[in-house]
Amino acid sequence: MGDQKPGQQVPASEDQVCNSAGGYVWPVSDMNRLRRFMVLGTEGGTYYIQSKDLGLENIDCIQKLIDDGLGEEVVKEIVKFSVEGRAAKQNPIMLALVQCARCTDMKTKKAAYDALSKVCRIPTHLFQFIEYSEKFSEGTGWGRAQRRAISRWYNNKKPNDLAYQITKYRKRNGWTHRDVLRLAHVKPENDATSLVLKYIAKGKKALLEEFGKIEEPNDRQKSVMMLLRAVEDAKVSDDQTEIMTLIEEHNLVREHIPTKFLKEKDIWRSLLQQMPMTAMIRNLGKMSSIELLAPLSDEANLVCERLQSDERLKKARIHPFSILLAYKTYKAKKGDKGKLTWEPEQTVLNALDDAFYKSFKFVEPTGKRFLLAVDVSGSMSCSGVNGARNVTAREAAAAMTMVTMRTEKRHHLVAFSNRLVDIPINEKMRMDEVIRICSNIPMGATDCAQPMIYARQKKISVDVFIIYTDCETWAGNIQPAEALRSYRKETGIDAKLIVVAMTSNGFTLADPKDAGMMDIVGFDAAAPDVIRNFALGLL
């Protein structure tokens, strides 16, 4: 123990390992690590470990699961997290799916390719899958299984939806649909899809020639042709009124509109009427910069109504982290990239604040007594979440506590580093207040036993301790799990501990052998529901 830091713990059991900070913790199971990876990814890394190293470690854990015969279970988890919108970004999910698709286990490979259309719902995802397949595998990655899966992707979509998607997402990461059709040898399985593929491969002129050969076009063919003609007309139009008419009649989106028109307020007003939720959130800054979202305007009111709609948020699979990031960016009056600036509209900011809490699955209160503890140590201010440079793990953790605070009436909030720190936050505060307060709390070393020690010393009755941390703990003479057991013994309360991991490393403070301790992912949209069920003893 010659290298031990002052006040640092020693292993409490033989199955503990040394974490990236030099403290002793339990390793997370490979399946739980997969879940962490899909939700939190590796971008930004943590204070003690670089993101590239985290990425390699997570890839290794996926391979271990496949080697242990759990590949099909891995694919089921990938599909579940993707379809339920539990991850803020698709990159980690796509990487995990590619790992399964490119492995040597035939059952896992088949399951991965069968799941391709469920996970890759838009061309951006498909291009990402193809890019990762070529990057992380030997050879080109264009085997028979991949070609068949990609052919199904094009043929299983309704022809009109396919026409819409291939014109909205024409290319990504250097890939085009023409590239994909050529390499995958895609053959159309119906007459309307045939028109879309002809348009991809040969362009407008070939499409018109093909359509002209059809003696009696059916409704599907007519619908596809109307949309593709509208897209082509918009590309060459110099008439703003014509563009607005095409938007309104054919539901064209920003990607269909020539760049020269994207500074016009009336164009954006037309686009906003049917704008998808995700696109609307991403373009709040742009719409404010041209003063479309002005105070008391119909457009600002429309945006607020959509952001406050439970049904729309659910249907669009908007992840809470995406809203948190949009809130911070919109309030900052400028984006991370580019020169665009704007003046935020206050009612829109308020609606984003509401949308953040609505985007989590609705949770019934448990009536239990919660002590919520936010790690505010130095590593939490250096660890980003999901690659967002302007949202630290500390800020994300504070936002997560607000979800529980607004659900559970019986709660007590503390912050800690190597000591307990005052955190003057209540459930009625807005996100900007919460983030500002947490950002200004002095940093220190990490001692995650502090909340349990505090509750024992102050004789506070707690049913559930929730610690929001990056698990980079090393300070203190007692480990969190031991501190919880001491609290249970002294108070007679069978208290539970939930460790909410804000980064994607492989460590947990929760003893996996103790049924009253659990490790979950921080920015999983289903986290509040998991917390509730565990608190009630249903897990």
499 torsion bin: left (phi>0), alpha (psi -120 to 50), beta (else): beta
Average pLDDT per consecutive 10 residues, the chain (539 residues; last block may be shorter): 42 56 62 77 46 59 92 96 83 90 94 96 94 75 90 96 96 92 94 95 91 91 95 95 97 95 96 95 96 96 95 86 88 86 96 89 86 84 62 81 90 88 84 80 78 95 92 64 93 93 65 80 76 82
List 520's β-bridge partners, or say none: 500
Torsion of CA 126, 91, 339, 265, to 10 degrees: 50
List 465's β-bridge partners, or say none: 371, 497
Amino acid at 473: T
Amino acid at 402: M
Q: What is the pLDDT of residue 495?
A: 96
DSSP state of 156: S
Dist CA 294 CA 280 (whole Å) = 15
CB 61 within 8 A of CB 36: no
For 108-155, write each residue's pLDDT tens digit.
999 999 999 999 999 999 999 998 888 876 655 688 999 999 999 999
Q: What is the pLDDT of residue 13?
A: 59
Q: Which two tokens stand for residue 60?
A: 């290794």
Residue 341 in 3-state DSSP? strand
Q: What is the pLDDT of residue 378?
A: 72
Element (H, E) at 465: strand 464-469
Q: What is the pLDDT of residue 490?
A: 95
Q: What is the pLDDT of residue 408?
A: 92
Amino acid at 267: I
Inter-CA distances, 38 with 78, 357, 395, Å: 8, 21, 20
Amino acid at 499: V
Instruction: Please state the separation of Cα 63 from the chain's center in Å.
Output: 23
CB 505 within 8 A of CB 46: yes
Closest CA to 294 of 345, 336, 253: 345
Inter-CA distances, 238 with 168, 248, 260, Å: 20, 17, 9
For 395-422, write each residue's pLDDT tens digit.
888 888 888 998 899 999 998 887 888 7
Closest CA to 166 of 122, 204, 198: 122
Q: What is the pLDDT of residue 517?
A: 86
HSE-CB for 526 with a 13 A CA cutoff: 15
Closest CA to 379 of 483, 275, 469, 256: 469
Provide the pairing of β-strand 384-385 with 388-392.
antiparallel
Q: What is the pLDDT of residue 27?
A: 62
Dist CA 502 CA 448 (whole Å) = 14
Q: What is the pLDDT of residue 5?
A: 45
Length of the chain: 539
